[in-house]
């Protein structure tokens, strides 16, 4: 079974703090994704990576950056957290072999106060 | 601009009912249409998917109907059970798109005993 793990299930941070969300997958997948999930807005893509050190902006990249130094690990960085970044953050991976299936982690519920 | 429109936003049915979730898309380059199921506290997981060369696909109690000319697809859940209570997302993707998915806003289904 593919396993995607996220470093924290719940996180509370203060406005202005730098926040790191970590995601690890164990299936040697090429592609990794970061989404945020908000009620009534569905899943919105923040950034994705199709290879180590390669990244592309998604639909809502403002206020976020990412890092992928190793194939299995994809980090989402909030440079200066703001209250409007309070959300559920979901990481996903896919094989890159045109099967298209994305495997999701359990999510990190981030609250910025 | 939302590329995949999903309706309704929520639905309550009795056990044994047949909930239907509808999605519509604009981009004719989409060629893969999955449905994801998300239980509370979990990440979404692939439920069933279809490509536009077929009009219907069944897996157990779940059926996707696809209408290419109308650019619409829907999920039917036969003999629904309380365990089907979850949030359902439709999505779409296209070849050469790094396996990116564009998600609908989701529908919360409640199946009462």
Residue A98: pLDDT over 80: no
Condensed to tens digits (0 to 9), the pLDDT of residues B63-88 reads 999 999 999 999 999 999 999 999 99
Say what the pLDDT of residue B97 is. Answer: 59
Residue of A nearest to B8 (CA): A40
- Max CA separation in chain A (angstroms): 41
Residue of B nearest to A34 (CA): B100
Q: Domain coordinates of chain A in residue numbers?
A: 28-98
Domains and CATH numbers, chain B: 4-112 (2.60.40.10)
3-state secondary structure A52-111: CCEEEECCCCCCEEEEEEECCEEEEEECCCCHHHCEEEEEEEECCCCCCCCEECCCEEEE
Q: What is the DSSP letter of B46?
A: E
Q: What are phi and psi of B38, to 5 degrees?
A: -130, 120
Give the CA distances from residue A90 to residues B11, B41, B52, B68, B96, in Å, rounded to whole numbers and listed in that order.
24, 11, 28, 31, 23
Condensed to tens digits (0 to 9), the pLDDT of residues A53-93 reads 899 999 999 999 999 999 999 999 999 999 999 999 999 99
Say what the pLDDT of residue A83 is. Answer: 97
Say what the pLDDT of residue B106 is. Answer: 95
Parallel, antiparallel or unpaired: strands B10-14 and B107-112: parallel
Which 19-48 residues of chain B touch chain A by CB within 8 A? Answer: 32, 34, 41-46
**What superfamily in CATH does domain A28-98 come from?**
Immunoglobulins (2.60.40.10)
Residues of chain B positioned with their CB less than 8 A from the CB of A56 = 98
With an 8 Å Cβ cutoff, are A90 and B45 in contact?
no
Mean pLDDT, chain A, rounded, equals 94
Q: State the number of CA atoms in the 13 A half-sphere of B109 facing the CB.
A: 28
Condensed to tens digits (0 to 9), the pLDDT of residues B21-40 reads 999 999 888 989 999 999 99
User: Distance (Å, rounded) from C-alpha B58 to C-alpha B64?
Assistant: 7
Condensed to tens digits (0 to 9), the pLDDT of residues A8-61 reads 999 999 999 999 999 999 999 999 999 999 998 999 999 999 989 899 999 999
Residues of A with a Cβ under 8 Å from any B Cβ are 4, 31, 33, 40-45, 48, 50, 56, 58, 90, 92, 94-96, 98-107
């Amino acid at each position: 079974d593919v396993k995607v793990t996220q470093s924290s299930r719940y996180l509370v941070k203060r406005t202005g703090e730098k926040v790191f969300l970590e995601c690890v997958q164990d299936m040697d997948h090429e592609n990794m994704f970061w989404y945020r999930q908000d009620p009534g807005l569905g899943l919105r893509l923040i950034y994705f990576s199709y290879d180590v050190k390669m990244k592309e902006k998604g639909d809502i990249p403002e206020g976020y950056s990412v890092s992928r130094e190793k194939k299995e690990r994809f980090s989402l960085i909030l440079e200066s957290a703001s209250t409007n970044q309070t959300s559920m953050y979901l990481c996903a991976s896919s094989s890159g072999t045109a099967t298209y299936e994305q495997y999701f982690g359990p999510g990190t519920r981030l609250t910025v106060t | 601009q939302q590329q995949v429109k999903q309706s309704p936003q929520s639905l309550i049915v009795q056990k044994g009912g047949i909930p239907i979730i509808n999605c519509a898309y604009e981009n004719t380059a989409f060629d893969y249409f999955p449905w994801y199921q998300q239980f509370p506290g979990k990440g979404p997981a692939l439920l069933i998917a279809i490509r536009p060369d077929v009009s219907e696909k069944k897996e157990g109690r779940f059926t996707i109907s696809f209408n290419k000319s109308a650019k619409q697809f829907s999920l039917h859940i036969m003999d629904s059970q309380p365990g089907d209570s979850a949030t359902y997302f439709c999505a779409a993707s296209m070849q050469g798109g790094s396996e990116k998915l564009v998600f609908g806003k989701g529908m919360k289904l409640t199946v009462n005993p």
